[in-house]
Chains A and B, each alone.
Chain A
């Protein structure tokens, strides 16, 4: 069964803290996406990974294919980073299986 699990479900941190959100999946994949959903519902695609590591500004995404695990890191977190972060995985077909999301709140 193709499954995607995210942790933690909820995360509250102080501004400036280093944030890590984890995503694990059950079988081999062709690609993994990290997305950000703002309180208004709009979704932004942050990263697409099939191997290694990607960095964009204060965001870093890594994936370990052997361990079937990916992490999203936020350095120097800011209140505007508050959002739901979603991991979505493609299991060798073109549809995405979504994680449940991690609700992140950064307090000033």
Chain B
């Protein structure tokens, strides 16, 4: 069972570069999320999606974009990387928002912007 898969695991970017963090899940979950985790802190929600074609902003969306063309994939795009975007990024998915809803997390992508 693959679960939630994130690529790459590590990346170093120069200021102003762009990149896409990939996230895919094979559990047919309708909800997907992107979080960032700064050192010593909890997770902050960047964007989320309740289904293919539907996305919405979380707490800290500035500097990021997302798309959800399929149920499985939810890529996160950084257009003009800034040092403030140095963080660990987690993708997660869940089936419903009901009582058995559990968020399954990917292993994370560590991004450094220099």
A and B bind: no
